[in-house]
Structure 1
């Protein structure tokens, strides 16, 4: 029986349900200590690289959520800001919307001006200017993103400011008014349909 080369062994081991430790030990048995140490280093680098990439992704998602909280509800009490963040996270979990926070926040486009959130299309700049409000928005984004608080909106996917008469409001079930926004969710399915 031919012992596979390191490259082929890595491919084989990547497809099998073994732990990283078991992979390194198998390499040690097949190729000796030097290859096992090298593979251990590769595994460690891959795990570290994956962890760094995952952290960057989460940091980006938190930044998008915090920006949305800041520009959509800055100055409102905690509940109003958290409710805005809840809508974003509810959309992330709903198949009708994009599957990530930044994709939800940036849905539509600045070019077509059909943005879901007005600040994304307003061309006024997207850098927070009020440090204390920005820090509060970041804290709220972390709380809502990680699911540490309850969904104050009852599953709402839409909202508008209390002073707006949104043309679409009749299509959905009205939910709570929190802060300066009225929240909406899907109407319950009629029985038998």
Structure 2
């Protein structure tokens, strides 16, 4: 009987090892299959192309005049001005004075005749113009304008703007991205 029991234990251990080896082989088989399928799908991925048309406005200009009108007994600076587009007054343009020292912003908007007026403190400024007829994308920047306490200044700014349509070919990486693009059209 003990010999029979020893044989049974040996057979059971051999079967256990065989089953464990088979599980390992199955796991490697599944992993290998998954990797091959993934590699095949990456290689065979179809590119989805589309022609995209973009509205791309352009906006440029210059400060034609930066006149000191007079000096007042105050610490503030009064700036008046006018913005022209092709010799027409340009209304609805945001004029933002950004301090170079502390990034503080002073903002105003031109009226229907292109006029603006703003009080700022002395310092070195960048000026940014944003025409809202195109949204917020194009802006015009003027850098390093120095204003001193008590100055009353007049700025005359000429701008030009145009709207262009640019088309370009785009290749989407996946069908999902391509379908999302088509839904938005």
TM-score band, normalised by shorter chain: under 0.3
Higher Rg = 2
TM-score (norm 1): 0.23
* Greater fraction of residues in strand: 2
Q: Which has the higher contact order (CA 8 A, sep 6+)?
A: 2
TM-score by length of 2: 0.23
Of Structure 1 and Structure 2, the greater helix share is in 1
